Copies of this chain bind each other. A is one copy, B any other.
Amino acid sequence: MRKVTLALILTLTAGAAHSFAAEDLQASAKALFKPIPTKPPVMKGNPATPAKIDLGAKLYFDPRLSKSQLISCNTCHNVGLGGADLQETSTGHGWQKGPRNAPTVLNSVFNIAQFWDGRAKDLAEQAKGPVQASVEMNATPELVLKTLNSMPGYVKAFKAAFPADKDPVTFDNMAKAIEVYEATLITPNAPFDQYLKGSRTALNSNQTKGLKLFIDKGCVTCHGGRNLGGGGYYPFGVVSKPVESILPRGDKGRFKVTNTASDEYVFRSPSLRNVAITAPYFHSGVVWSLKEAVAVMGSAQFGIQLSSDETDAITAFLGSLTGQQPKVVHPLLPISTDTTPHPVL
């Protein structure tokens, strides 16, 4: 009887300690991260209206923003595939291979800046890049405007989206409409968000263990905040540079933007939101297994070899970051006319 009682006491004590530790961890997590909101954020200087979001959706899905009329934003940032494209690095005009892996569009509105090197300050500026890049959509602002102006459906949609503008069909307004549309592509209610909002059961025990490791090992340093990343610039290979295939030596990252020696191999840390559904990984896109990517981070950033149990737990935790994917109605696109430029391959 006494034995049983003691065992019971021990169990209760352990339970209380566990509960206390669990509360501590949850409190730490609440201090370090934020849940994805259920409504799109407001874009500074670019208020959303239903008409503007609707126009943005059309533009996002329209391959006529590319010279070949084959490639749309959705080609590389596929809303059905976690907002990315399953390619090591994206394929663009003329089947050319681009230099870096396409980051997901999902929750990208919460990143400090856009592109792996942060060279675009916001989504509107980002949207103008691939449209003009010769290895991507290979168009020009002139071609895009000629195309958009050739279709009454677009002219009307731009007027509705930018009613105060005398000449609403502009390259800037195209980008602004895409920005407000992309701001709707957020993924709330991931298990981890439920956990951050107070749920005790949203994460299983291995995911909880992974979260603790994620904080204790230091992953959170670069991958904190609402997006678990995307909030700052950090060197890839703090302790030890990964092999050339993972960190191509020719791509010096943010150095190209700032021309500052300390920015060599510095990148904007990627958001880990939905990371379990957006393989392959890193800006080079050569690592297909999330578990392997976690192991690479351990050695490159901390100079440690995580145990298999540890990488498993961290990988399980990362799985809890997959949110509710946006429900996207495929837009009906304005109809080409006799004056619409033809595709050029």
Interface positions of A (Cβ within 8 A of B): 61-64, 68-70, 75, 78-82, 85-88, 91, 94-95, 97, 276-277, 279-280, 288-289, 325, 327-333, 335-336, 338, 342-343, 345
Is the pair A86, B343 in contact by a Cβ cutoff of 8 Å? yes
User: CA of A333 to CA of B329 in the docked complex: distance in angstroms?
Assistant: 14
Nearest CB in chain B: distance from A76 CB, A: 9
Report whether A327 and B325 are in contact in the complex, using a CB–CB cutoff of 8 Å. Answer: no
Cβ-closest chain B residue relative to A81: B333
Contact B338 A288 (CB under 8 A): yes
Given A91-B70, A345-B95, are A86 and B61 also a contact pair (CB < 8 Å)? no
Q: Is the CB of A97 within 8 A of B338?
A: no
Contact of A86 among B94, B288, B336 (CB under 8 A): B336
Q: A257 to chain B: closest CB distance in Å?
A: 28
Q: Is A330's CB under 8 angstroms from B80's CB? A: yes
Bound Cα distance from A63 to B64, whole angstroms: 19
The chain B residue sitting closest to A337, CB to CB, is B279
Partner pick for A70 among B75, B79, B325, B332, CB 8 A cutoff: B75
Bound form: Cα–Cα A69–B343 in Å: 22
A-B contact pairs, 18 of them (CB 8 A): A61-B80, A63-B78, A63-B81, A63-B86, A64-B86, A70-B85, A78-B333, A79-B330, A80-B330, A80-B332, A80-B333, A82-B335, A86-B336, A94-B95, A95-B345, A277-B336, A280-B342, A288-B342
Give Cα distance in the complex from A268 to B86, angstroms.
37
Residues of B within 8 A of A288 (CB): 338, 342
Contact A70 B94 (CB under 8 A): no
Instruction: Give the shortest distance, in Å, between A275 (CB) and chain B (any CB).
Output: 12
A329-B330, A333-B80 known; A338+B289 contact, CB < 8 A: yes
Cα distance A59–B212 in the bound complex, in angstroms: 39
Q: A69-B87, A86-B63 are in contact. Are A328 and B325 (CB under 8 A)?
A: no
Q: Is the beta-carbon distance between B86 and A335 smaller than 8 angstroms?
A: no
Closest residue on chain B to residue A90 by CB atoms: B70
Give Cα A263 to B138, complex, Å.
42
Residues from chain B with a CB closer than 8 A to the CB of A289 are: 338
Q: Are A277 and B80 in contact (CB under 8 A)?
A: no
Query: Taking the nearest CB of chain B, how far is it from the CB of A328, in angstroms?
Result: 4
Taking the nearest CB of chain B, how far is it from the CB of A259, in angstroms? 33
Chain B residues within 8 Å of A276, by CB: 335
CA distance A330 to B328 in the complex (A): 6
Residues of chain B with a CB closer than 8 A to A82's CB: 335
Q: Is B332 touching A329 in the complex (CB atoms < 8 A)? A: no
User: Which partner residue on chain B sits nearest A280 by CB separation?
Assistant: B342
Whether B333 contacts A87 by the Cβ 8 Å rule is: no
A308 to B75, CA, bound (A): 41
Q: Are A343 and B94 in contact (CB under 8 A)?
A: no
A277 to B280, CA, bound (A): 38
CA distance A306 to B181 in the complex (A): 47
Closest B residue to A91 by beta carbon equals B70
Which of B86, B94, B329 interacts with A328 by CB under 8 Å?
Answer: B329
Q: State A63–B90 Cα separation when bound (angstroms).
A: 13
Most B Cβ at <10 Å: residue of A80, A87, A328:
A80
